[in-house]
Amino acid sequence: MKILTTLITTTIAVFSLTACKSLPSYSSDYSQADQKIKGIPFNDAQAHDIGSRFVAAFNTLGTSNFVTQASSLYADQLYINDTLSQFSNKQELIKHFEGMNNRVSNVSVKLISATHHQDSAYIHWYMAYDFKMFGRTKTMASYGISEIKINSNQQIIFQQDYWDPANGLYRSLPVFGGAYKWVLPFKKS
């Protein structure tokens, strides 16, 4: 019981301290990247192709093939915001992917639809996976949309993910999920 009380107190203290930290909004970074980074214009087939390649690469997440698959999908210089992290070069993105790869297994990603407007493809996806944290594994799932721009080599140069990390991740985490649900309860009528 003493360990649990210490863990809860520490968690609340960490949440309190991080809540005080001021972080800039990603909106200005997104706006600048969207204006600066121009991809090739899409047609229906190209939008579907990048959606299929994107889903195929992420279906290998949690396996030894993932980092290689993902690496071939992205250009060296890029803008990517996956809602939890932001990257401007492939080297840092791949480090992030290596860390993700060690925490997940049993990944299933499905392509729901692929649409486009000018040089942006909008990839609507569903992802389910097992996530390891604190020695426990939890099955999680989320729907999302990724706005993607590609270069003439068919590599991703711009990606902005839109998904709900509150319901797709935070509420499901051991220990943290309970605190998150308490602070920001989900209401359904």
Provide the 8-state DSSP code for 40: P
The dihedral built from the CA positions of residue 149, 151, 156 and 157, taken in this order, carries a sign that is negative
Q: Could you give the 3-state DSSP secondary structure of residue 79?
A: strand
Torsion of CA 129, 131, 136, 140, to 10 degrees: -50
Other Cβ atoms closer than 10 A to 35: 8
Q: Which CATH architecture has domain 40-183?
A: Roll (3.10)
For 70-118, the pLDDT digits (tens) are 999 999 999 999 877 899 999 999 999 999 899 899 999 999 999 999 9
What does the alpha-carbon distance between residue 17 and residue 5 come to, in Å, rounded to a whole number? 18
Angle, CA of 111, 116 and 120, to the nearest 5°: 100
What does the alpha-carbon distance between residue 7 and residue 82 come to, in Å, rounded to a whole number? 29
For residue 97, the model assigns a pLDDT of: 94
Q: Token pair of 169, please?
A: 């991740």
Q: Token pair of 88, please?
A: 């401007």
Q: How many residues belong to the chain? A: 189
* Band of pLDDT at residue 138, cut at 50, 70 and 90: confident
For 3-23, the pLDDT digits (tens) are 656 666 666 656 555 555 445
The dihedral built from the CA positions of residue 75, 148, 144 and 184, taken in this order, carries a sign that is positive
Q: What is the largest CA-CA distance in the chain?
A: 60
